Amino acid sequence: MKKIIAMMMALMLVLTGIAVFTACDGGEENKGSTETTTAAATTEPAENEAPKVLKMATNAYFQPYEFYKDGKIVGIDAEIAAAIAEKLGMTLEIVDMEFDSIITAVNEGSVDFGMAGMTVTEDRLKEVDFSTSYANGKQVIIVKEDSPITTADDLFAEGAAYKVGVQLGTTGDIYATGDFGAENVTTYSNGNEAVLALLGGSVDCVIIDNEPAKALVAANAGLKVLDTAYANEDYAICIKKGNTELLDAINNAIKELTADGTIDAIIAKYIK
């Protein structure tokens, strides 16, 4: 019996040692609690082991949220995700894939979360959990400069049967298919392809998120974004349903990064 008590006391001493070590390691006050959450959400790396990797799925053709610059994926989402990973004491790895594959990858567990200017929708909430929203978005309409379409209402006019280009699986795709019928909607794997189709005359307009729309119009002469928005939405990070520890850790990080102005500063760097 004595032996068991002695062993338990030794164990407690070791555990207290670890707790003290972690507390010292934490630096600022808040950091300690975030790290504790992270440790619970993931397997604790052994001492001297490289930091654990946090894998993010995205579709890197969505400027200014995620896009390639000098062969590297950069942008608002990439930077916010890196800041979140840092808060969790992890290294961020970004996996580029079709937008349409992100939720599947999250649910299969080949990535830890998806971040791709992804709108929170009722249907997606049935498949995945979403973090707190970190940005607003809106769906807008890109047309050729001389287009007869001048407002969002023109698309709904009696007898109008405009051909709409969208990015597969996006809210632009979902809403336009609902409003105008699949026969009037052509899906492309990214916004750039949709805009090329608009320039080539195979569609009359492209419905896509506002910021990528601005970037696409700036990069292609003869196009404009209509002033009237088609829909307003919130962007958030998607996480496998039930992975509440990671969800809580990410929400905590978003809260801290919002409070200290980091998220606003990242957004302001890319959206003037």
249-268 footprint of ligand GLN as x/- string (CB under 6 A): --------------------
Closer residue to ligand GLN in complex, CB, 99/134: 99
Stretch that binds ligand GLN, among 80-88, 104-112, 116-124, 194-202 (CB under 6 A): 116-124
Binding of ligand GLN at residue 118 (CB under 6 A)? Answer: yes
CA distances to 20, 40, 89, 172, 228 from 13, rounded to whole Å, are 10, 21, 25, 58, 65
Residue whose CB is nearest to ligand GLN in the complex, by number: 170
Q: How many residues bind ligand GLN (CB under 6 A)?
A: 12
Binding of ligand GLN at residue 62 (CB under 6 A)? Answer: yes
Binding of ligand GLN at residue 167 (CB under 6 A)? Answer: yes
Binding of ligand GLN at residue 116 (CB under 6 A)? Answer: yes
Binding of ligand GLN at residue 64 (CB under 6 A)? Answer: no
| Sequence-ordered list of residues with C-beta below 8 angstroms from that of 210, at least 6 positions apart, any chain | 137, 138, 139, 140, 225, 229
Q: Verify cis geometry, omega within 30 degrees of 0, for the bond prior to 64.
A: yes
Closer residue to ligand GLN in complex, CB, 119/186: 119
Burial class (CB in 10 A: 0-12, 13-18, 19+), 122: exposed
Helix (H, G, I), strand (E, B) or coil at 231: strand
Among 170, 187, 243, 251, binds ligand GLN (CB under 6 A): 170
Cβ(229)–Cβ(139) below 8 Å: yes
Cβ(253)–Cβ(88) below 8 Å: yes
Binding of ligand GLN at residue 210 (CB under 6 A)? Answer: no
- Cα dihedral sign for 61, 131, 111, 207? negative
> Under rule CB under 6 A, which residues in 127-146 are in contact with ligand GLN?
137
Closer residue to ligand GLN in complex, CB, 59/251: 59
CA distances to 80, 94, 116, 215 from 251, rounded to whole Å, are 12, 19, 17, 29
Tokens of 141: 């309409």
Query: Min. distance of Cβ 191 from ligand GLN in angstroms?
Result: 7
Residue ranges in contact with ligand GLN by CB under 6 A = 59, 62, 99, 116-119, 137, 167, 170-171, 209
